[in-house]
Amino acid sequence: MENNGFKSGFVALAGKPNVGKSTLINALLGQKVVIVSDKPQTTRNRVNCILTEDHYQIVFVDTPGIHKPIRKIGEYMVNIAINALKGVDLILFIIDAKDGLRNSDLRVAELVDKSKIPTILLVNKVDLVKDKEKINLMTEKIQSLCSNILKTIEISALTGKNLFELKQSIIDLLPEGPQYYPEDMITDKPSRFIISELIREKIFHLTKEEIPHSSGVVIEELKERENGVLYVRAEIYVEKKSQKPIIIGKNGSMIKKIGQLARQDIEELFERKVYLDLYVKVREKWRDDKNILNNVMEYKVEETKDGK
């Protein structure tokens, strides 16, 4: 296949937890591909999200926020994020205008600088900040720490501010190359992973305190029935017996709500009717259990193009 000016490449998003990486990817793709929540450390795994147009293909690499890990699951998440910065064509380093610079931003800046990969600095959530001087001081500080920043763009992933400019900047910086994925493919993750993520997102939205981070979802069964309905059997893991009744809710009200909202998203994504069967199981200290983490997170250090 001849290139004919076709551009393509891998673009990794880097930033501390909750800076809006997943929201930005969904906005750039024009549809919901990765889960979002207002709670930090929602993203647990690397997800390649693919935007294909006539003359380009951008593979956005969504990663967990880089933070100081406490549990084994945190170590996995940080390793995934750090490895995602290797062998890509471009990095989008995102900072939060509303939150200001924290030590976690400086840790990310150090990793981005070490990567030596061309980087665009994105100041997200500028719609929430009126103090222009605050934004200028933030960008100056990061630019002084990262020698590989090519340009800075102030954006709002939520309102869409400057996202067209961002997309054009990405395309301009990408090399000519092949189409890595089929044009109708929007993510490299299997259906089981995407469905488990959609269920987990509802748990993040509907529960509070330690419940969201203590929960995990595994798809035990996924099959299409003769009537065309997609049958999904999923297990929700929690760490304590006291957490199980919270997930289930009074008279099953909470798990019913989780199921209803998740099913709507799954049906929209797969464009078919879905029967969703949810079960709750107690798995003590599952976030420190390597065997369970392999199931919940599909953890592995993935390679980028050309095995880099």
Binding-site residues for GTP, please?
Answer: 15-22, 62-66, 124-127
What are the beta bridge partners of residue 234?
219, 278
Taking the CA atoms of 197, 202, 205 and 209 in sequence, report the sign of the dihedral they define. negative
Contact 216, 292 (CB under 8 A): yes
3-state secondary structure at position 9: strand
Nearest-angstrom CA–CA distance, 124 and 166: 12
Question: Which residue stretches of 216-289 are H helix?
Answer: 244-248, 253-270
Q: Which residue has the tokens 């750039």?
A: 28
Q: Where is the binding site, in residues?
A: 15-22, 62-66, 124-127
Structure token pair of residue 19: 């800076």
Nearest 5°: phi and psi at 79? -60, -40
Question: Do 235 and 218 contact (CB within 8 A), yes or no?
Answer: yes
Q: Is 228 left (phi over 0), alpha (psi -120 to 50) or beta?
A: left
